[in-house]
Amino acid sequence: MAASEESSTTQMIGNAFVQQYYSILHQEPDQVHRFYQESSILSRPEEDGTMTMVTTTLEINKKILSLDYTSFRVEILSADAQPSFKDGVIVVVTGCLTGSDNLKRKFTQSFFLAPQDKGYFVLNDVFRYVDEYKSVDIESVPANDAAIADESAPTDAFVPEPESFMLLKMFLLVKLLLLMLTLVSAKSESPLENGMYQLLKSGPVSC
């Protein structure tokens, strides 16, 4: 199967799963556990943001029913699928849940659909509200430590001060004038009597 055909088939599987799963989740949540098996793992966030992980269909069913999905309206924003290990399918969903208080919260949910005799079952399921993520404060480096770090770090290339530039320019001008005087005087002498003139006319001299 070509890569494009496999991708298309995988996306069709993902789309069909998403449509069935969320329809049953919000209409008949007591039937959702049938998407899972005993080896399945489900993760859901608690009120404080920590994740709770459960396994077995019994515990998964308890967890889903405790979340009272019937009181929420779901809006699917995207559903992306990829072929995975041993003919499995990864499905990543983004959407919004709106509660009875009209508070809309964006979420992301990832599934790994493992193949079975007839179709697939959910082996892994991770759900997370996006707005629960908080930026991690990166501890800033104290000023003294930063100074020490700068001292130990490799120094940048030397940049001359303006006065050094002026001295360098004057030195180069003097060298250029001396060279011009040498060339002028060389014109009145035999090329063989002046090494500089011979070098300029004949090119590099091998040692």
- List phi, psi (to 5°) of 155: -80, 155
Given pLDDT bands bounded at 50, 70 and 90, which one contains residue 43? very high
CATH no., domain 3-132: 3.10.450.50
Q: What is the pLDDT of residue 180?
A: 60
Report the alpha-carbon distance of residue 93 to residue 81 in Å, rounded: 9
Residue pair 36/17 in contact by the 8 Å Cβ criterion = no
Q: Which residue has the higher pLDDT, 80 or 205?
A: 80
Per-residue model confidence as pLDDT tens digits over 45-103: 998 889 999 999 999 999 999 999 999 999 999 999 999 999 999 999 999 999 989 99
Q: For residue 176, name the pLDDT band (cuts at 50, 70, 90).
A: low
Segments making up each domain of the chain, as ranges = 3-132, 160-207
> Is 115's pLDDT higher than 90?
yes
Least confident range from 102-106, 137-141, 191-195: namely: 191-195
Closest alpha carbon to 44 in 162, 147, 125 = 125
Residue in this structure with the two tokens 């007839």, named with its chain if needed: 118
pTM: 0.61
Question: In whole angstroms, what is the distance from residue 126 CA to residue 196 CA?
Answer: 81
